Amino acid sequence: MEVTATEAKNRLGQMLEHCQREPVVIEKSGRRHSVLISAERYDALLVAERRSAPDAAEPRTAEEFYARYKDWVDEQNRHFEKYGIWNEEFRTW
Q: Are residue 30 and residue 64 in the same domain, yes or no?
A: no
Measured CA to CA, the distance from residue 2 to residue 36 in angstroms comes to 10
One domain for residues 37 and 60 = no
Q: What's the domain range around 68?
A: 55-93
Strand-pair category, 2-4 with 24-28: parallel
26 & 8 share domain: yes
Instruction: State phi, psi for 85 to the nearest 5 degrees.
Output: -85, 135
Same domain, 13 and 46: yes
pLDDT 10s digits, 12-64: 999 999 999 999 999 999 999 999 999 999 999 999 988 877 666 666 788 88
pTM, two decimals, is: 0.54
Distant-in-sequence, close-in-space partners of 3: CB < 8 Å, separation ≥ 6: 11, 15, 24, 25, 26, 27
